Amino acid sequence: LNIVDNLEGSDFITPAIVDRDPVTIAIGTEGAAPVLARQIKADLEARLPSSLGALARIGKAFRHAADTLPMGRARRAFWSEYYTKTGPASMSKGEAATKAALDTLLAQHLAEAPAEGHVVFAGAGPGDPELLTLKARRALHEADVVIYDRLVSPAILELARREALMLSAGKEGFGAAMSQADINALIVKHASAGAQVLRLKGGDPAVFARLDEEIEACEAHDIAFSIIPGITAASASAAALGQSLTKRGRNTEARLVTGHDMQGYADQDWKSLARAGEVAAIYMGKRAARFIQGRLLMHGAAANTPVSLVENASLPNQRIVATTLGQLPSALAEAALTGPALTLLGLAPRDAVVPTLKQEVAQ
């Protein structure tokens, strides 16, 4: 028994249906909001032309002919053009005209030279899928191969096409990692085979991400590439604190530095960083915390200089450790951070922001 608008009195519920046979869209609210489901249905009914079903049926009958196109980008481009341009434009002239237009479109695509491989270097941002740029989102949809870093969140990887080849090229400081030479070879291999390759990096691809080495590998094999910037962890971490990286009267520059490099702990211009009011975002600085503290104190930094560590910036499990330079190693040990964390030297959380974001703050 099903009673409209009576969830408790119904043994089963059914979704609202938009029928453009063979295209069928079901809208369900689990009985919570039938009126909302009807509104969504009315909106979709108005948006989807009545000819959509015929367009899909013609396309289905033509699939065997379209299979002569190579799998992947070439075939996707053909069907995309049919459903967005050629098909709708010809349907007004009847189904026979649409079938003829499909034959013409297929001949045009078969005559085209095979697509050359291309590499897109894109930033996935700090982890929140909503901070992914529209351009990076489109690149995920178009990629045949996605080569991604350890810091790219699973929620972002879920946005890739189901048939895309997903390859992990994760790296971890002082831990297991795929060598840079192997990553370069992987990029070149798939792009040389004609694939649309997306090299997806956490944050921004141009900030401590070995971008130049991978570009040089592409250039050595005459492979075209493009770069899509992303929101870097420094910006996301400062936002989590409710602070800006620069402030009039406090600091005229903000530095992005790394805690370690290929040789181990990285040396910096410690004298400059130790000055009062300086702000620096230290990437990969957890393991180097005691080294960084020692160098800064040695060069005159005040022990009460504020330091904030932001773990998993922008994600639901984000945590902030607010401490001082003098207490940095002990605060880190007590917090036992396990996720990627960025160290912000010279910045403390803004008091009004932390309770609002319900973050765990260790003082």
Q: Read off the amino acid at residue 225.
A: F
Architecture of the domain made up of 234-362? 2-Layer Sandwich (3.30)
Displacement of CA 172 from its chain's centroid (Å): 19
3.30.160, 3.30.1340, 1.10.10, 3.30.420: CATH of 16-47: 3.30.160
- Write down the pLDDT at residue 172: 59
Helices (H), 147-273: 154-157, 180-192, 211-220, 233-241, 270-273
How many residues make up the chain in this entry? Answer: 363
- The domain spans of the chain are 16-47, 52-111, 118-230, 234-362
- Write down the pLDDT at residue 356: 42
- Write down the pLDDT at residue 163: 87
Q: Is the pTM of this model over 0.85?
A: no
Is 144 annotated in the active site?
no
Q: Show the low-confidence residues of the chain (pLDDT under 70).
A: 171-176, 262, 352-363
Q: Are 101 and 108 in contact (CB under 8 A)?
A: no
In the chain, what is the greatest distance between 2 CA atoms, to the nearest angstrom?
A: 82
- Write down the pLDDT at residue 354: 52
Is 5 annotated in the active site?
no
- If phi over 0 gives left and psi between -120 and 50 gives alpha, with beta otherwise, what is residue 232? beta
Displacement of CA 143 from its chain's centroid (Å): 13
- Catalytic-labelled residue, pool 144, 149, 201, 204: 149
Read off the tokens for 133: 């740029």
Q: Which residue has the tokens 């015929």?
A: 54
> How many angstroms separate the CA atoms of 214 and 131, rounded?
24
- Write down the pLDDT at residue 353: 59
DSSP per-residue codes, 111-124: HSPPPPPEEEEEE-
pLDDT tens digits along 176-213? 578 999 999 999 999 998 899 999 999 999 999 999 99
Q: Are 128 and 313 in contact (CB under 8 A)?
A: no
Decide: helix, strand or coil at residue 319.
strand
User: What is the number of alpha carbons within 13 Å of residue 312 lying toward its C-beta?
Assistant: 11
> How many angstroms separate the CA atoms of 116 and 227, rounded?
17
Architecture of the domain made up of 118-230? 3-Layer(aba) Sandwich (3.40)
